[in-house]
């Protein structure tokens, strides 16, 4: 990634110039109406030798904030149309929902998660900063490593999941074309041909991201429509196999709309929200390149809820059709595509799997931890090094276990992740919108002893809120007997009733607690 060091905008007010916000220290950058209220860091405002600075963490200069509404919409189309999001929708069908219940659940979840996405995304176009730098405002310059590393850890796990699924898809489809792949000699319990597909897929992803964010933007622009075409082709194929559209819509719900439905609906809704709760934190990593607030707001509003809902429709229709054709729902699109004997169809499915998985994995699961790890040690880790570390960690976590069943994937993995990340989102939004009123002292985000230094670089109030909100959100996590890693009564039994609402509980608790604790020190450092 090319350097994103600050530049001095022409026409910027000099240090301490009239028009600075009341109470701003000398040298404070001010929003320039001619630039849509976007702020640029004055030259020399941050010592280049500061341990909290490198080129990838500094604000993107206003002149390089060029992403348009289409770029953000295409980004979301590329990220939404992927195998794990397909597994979300088809997994709900496998859990007993009919197509209406599954689509309504997913549509509602994505409308809900869009709100924090837009709120945290606001800081990107205005200040040009990534997520870990924004987190310094609430957690402190050192404390920001806490949410950054949590987000990075989740992203590394997702990277591994996506890469394993992509490599597995290549293995299955090429095995159908050439034959005999599954019978290859085994290493670590898996055919060596599967490991080869996995490694090649991993290397392809890192090769693309190594070229930087501009290459990623161009890739997403053409990948998005290609993946849509691939999903539509799969729908047409299963419709023909099923004998028409009717069988796709006739598969009944085994849950109904009564007492059996709601215990599945609420944890599933939280799981759907948790699926993109990662991006609701680190969306500034992308919106920092936006040409303005309109680009990120319209791009995300048009891209996220609409494409996820449409893709959910495709997924549940195809899964319902597979139930009509094969007698049981096939919720994995790779396994379903492998049922065809048409070589052209298999190769087309192979390319679609490659493009879809690379598209989402690079944008959602490499960009964020690359910045987060750079924030941990800016002088040692840059964007490219962080991306490489992400790739290495992603292959060490045995990601194939997390998608073994719908219960484990939706309720355990997504539920716990959603609860923790919802807590962080509540803190970020409370700090930026309620405590700061969207006004940040940009230079102080990079220098110790400024207003975001708090106590030794840590805002202890934010840490306390995170611990309290996290315990409330995930403390009641439980599993059905034999279905997961948690006790049947919950980790903390009296919190068990809250477990099905983990993201909402963590978000709301953190937002309220943070405002209550920080109101006495609004705008200043911790006392």
Helix (H) or strand (E) holding 116: helix 99-121
Q: How many CB atoms lie within 10 A of CB 492?
A: 17
pLDDT of residue 11: 32
List pLDDT tens digits, range 489-515.
Answer: 878 989 988 887 888 899 999 999 999
Top mean pLDDT of 94-103, 209-218, 345-354 is at 94-103
Percentage of the residues of the chain whose pLDDT score is greater than 90: 24
Cα separations in angstroms, 269 against 201, 312, 393, 492, 501: 31, 14, 29, 22, 8
Percentage of the residues of the chain whose pLDDT score is greater than 70: 83
Between 336 and 263, residue with greater pLDDT: 263
Statement: residue 118 has pLDDT above 90: yes
Q: Which long-range contacts (CB under 8 A, 24 or more apart) does 400-408 make?
A: 400/164, 400/168, 402/157, 402/161, 403/84, 403/87, 403/161, 403/165, 405/483, 406/87, 406/91, 406/92, 406/94, 406/95, 406/331, 407/95, 407/479, 407/480, 407/483, 407/484, 408/483, 408/484
Distance CA 86, CA 349 (A): 14
Top mean pLDDT of 9-13, 344-348, 364-368 is at 364-368
DSSP 24: P
Between 147 and 276, residue with greater pLDDT: 147
Give the β-pairing of 186-187 and 190-191: antiparallel
Residues 194, 108 contacting (CB under 8 angstroms): no
The pLDDT of 233-243, averaged and rounded, is 79
pLDDT of residue 402: 60
pLDDT of residue 421: 86
pLDDT of residue 36: 55
Statement: residue 34 has pLDDT above 80: no
The pLDDT of 125-146, averaged and rounded, is 94
Between 287 and 91, residue with greater pLDDT: 287
Residue 74 tokens read as 């295409």
The pLDDT of 478-484, averaged and rounded, is 70
Q: Dihedral of the CA atoms 78, 82, 84, 86 (nearest 10)?
A: 120
Q: How many CB atoms lie within 10 A of CB 480?
A: 10
Q: Which of 265, 244, 227, 214 is nearest to 98 (CA)?
A: 265
Q: Lowest mean pLDDT: which of 87-96, 266-275, 395-404, 450-459? A: 395-404
Distance CA 41, CA 50 (A): 15
Longest Cα–Cα distance of the chain, Å, equals 75
Q: How many CB atoms lie within 10 A of CB 406?
A: 20
The pLDDT of 150-164, averaged and rounded, is 82
Statement: residue 447 has pLDDT above 70: yes
DSSP 36: T
The SS3 assignment for 32 reads strand
* Angle subtended at Cα 308 by Cα 304 and Cα 314, rounded to the nearest 5 degrees: 155
Between 271 and 203, residue with greater pLDDT: 203
Model pTM score: 0.78
pLDDT of residue 438: 94
Burial label, 111 (beta-carbon count in 10 A; 0-12, 13-18, 19+) = middle
List pLDDT tens digits, range 384-403.
Answer: 788 888 888 887 777 666 65
């Amino acid at each position: 990634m090319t350097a994103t060091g600050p530049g001095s905008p022409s026409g910027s007010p000099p240090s301490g110039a009239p028009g600075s916000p009341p109470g701003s220290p000398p040298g404070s950058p001010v929003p320039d109406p001619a630039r849509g209220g976007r702020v640029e860091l004055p030259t020399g405002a941050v010592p280049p030798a500061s341990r909290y600075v490198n080129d990838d963490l500094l604000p993107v200069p206003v002149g390089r904030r060029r992403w348009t509404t289409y770029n953000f919409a295409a980004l979301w189309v590329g990220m939404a149309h992927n195998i794990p999001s397909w597994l979300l929708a088809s997994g709900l069908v496998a859990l007993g929902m009919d197509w209406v219940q599954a689509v309504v659940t997913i549509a509602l979840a994505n409308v809900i998660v869009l709100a924090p996405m837009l709120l945290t995304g606001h800081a990107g176009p205005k200040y040009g900063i990534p997520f870990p730098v924004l987190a310094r405002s609430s957690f402190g310059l050192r404390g920001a490593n806490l949410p950054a590393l949590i987000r990075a850890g989740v992203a590394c796990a997702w990277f591994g999941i996506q890469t394993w699924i992509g490599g597995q898809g290549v293995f299955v489809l090429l095995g159908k074309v050439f034959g005999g792949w599954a019978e290859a000699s085994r290493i670590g319990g898996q055919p060596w041909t599967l490991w080869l597909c996995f490694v090649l897929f991993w290397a392809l992803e890192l090769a693309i991201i190594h070229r930087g964010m501009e290459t990623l933007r161009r890739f997403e622009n053409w990948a998005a429509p290609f993946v849509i075409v691939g999903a539509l082709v799969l729908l047409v194929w299963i419709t023909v196999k099923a004998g028409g559209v009717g069988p796709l819509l006739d598969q009944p719900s085994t849950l109904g709309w009564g007492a059996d439905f709601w215990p599945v609906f609420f944890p599933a809704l939280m799981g759907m929200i948790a699926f993109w709760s990662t991006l609701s934190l680190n969306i500034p990593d992308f919106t920092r390149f936006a040409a303005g607030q309109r680009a990120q707001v319209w791009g995300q509003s048009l891209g996220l809820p609409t494409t996820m809902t449409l893709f959910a429709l495709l997924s549940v229709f195809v899964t319902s059709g597979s139930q009509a054709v094969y007698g049981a729902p096939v919720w994995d699109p790779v396994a379903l595509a492998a049922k065809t004997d048409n070589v052209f169809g298999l190769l087309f499915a192979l390319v679609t799997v490659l493009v879809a998985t690379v598209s989402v994995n690079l944008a959602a699961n490499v960009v964020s931890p690359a910045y987060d790890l750079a924030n941990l040690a800016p002088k040692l880790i840059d964007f490219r090094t962080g991306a490489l570390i992400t790739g290495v960690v992603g292959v060490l976590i045995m990601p194939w276990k997390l998608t073994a069943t719908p219960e484990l994937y939706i309720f355990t993995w997504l539920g716990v992740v959603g609860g923790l990340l919802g807590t962080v989102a509540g803190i970020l939004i409370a700090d930026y919108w309620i405590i700061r009123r969207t006004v940040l002292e940009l230079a102080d985000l990079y220098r110790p002893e400024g207003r975001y230094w708090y106590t030794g670089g840590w805002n202890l109030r934010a840490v306390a809120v995170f611990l309290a909100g996290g315990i409330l959100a995930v403390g009641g996590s439980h599993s059905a007997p034999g279905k997961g890693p948690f006790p049947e009564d919950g980790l903390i039994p009296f919190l068990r009733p809250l477990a099905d609402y983990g993201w909402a509980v963590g978000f709301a608790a953190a937002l309220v607690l943070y405002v209550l604790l920080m109101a006495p020190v609004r705008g200043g450092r911790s006392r």
